[in-house]
């Protein structure tokens, strides 16, 4: 999708951001294993919303769509929109 130079720039900037000590994520330890494997960067979040939800409210769902609907004043769930996408569209167009 990107040239080698573009991808290098993108990954370098993401690595800079992830060196910050204040990383907050949703189920970030899952992502951290891929970041470590592919980019060689060990990242441990300061706060994980999924873990916090499970500790605070063990009987409630921990999925991001549920959390955003409960904690944000304006909720718009978008993650499953790709399932409605037209398969005939060319994703390679930038």
47-62 pLDDT, tens digit per residue, is 999 999 999 999 999 9
CA distances from 39 to 6, 52, 63, 89 (A): 15, 27, 26, 31
Q: Confirm whether pTM is higher than 0.75.
A: no
Parallel, antiparallel, or unpaired: how do β-strands 47-48 and 24-25 relate? parallel
Give the pLDDT score at 94.
53
Asked whether residue 92 carries a pLDDT value surpassing 80, the answer given is no
Give the pLDDT score at 59.
95
Element (H, E) at 84: none
Asked whether residue 30 carries a pLDDT value surpassing 90, the answer given is yes
């Amino acid at each position: 999708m990107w040239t080698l130079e573009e991808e290098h720039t993108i990954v370098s900037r993401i690595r800079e951001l992830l060196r910050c000590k204040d990383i907050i994520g949703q189920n970030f330890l899952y992502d951290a294993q891929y970041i470590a494997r592919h980019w060689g960067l060990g990242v441990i979040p300061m706060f994980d919303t999924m873990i916090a939800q499970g500790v605070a409210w063990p009987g409630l769902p921990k999925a991001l769509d549920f959390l955003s609907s409960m904690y944000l004043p304006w909720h718009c769930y978008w993650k499953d929109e790709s399932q409605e996408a037209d398969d005939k569209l060319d994703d390679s167009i930038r």
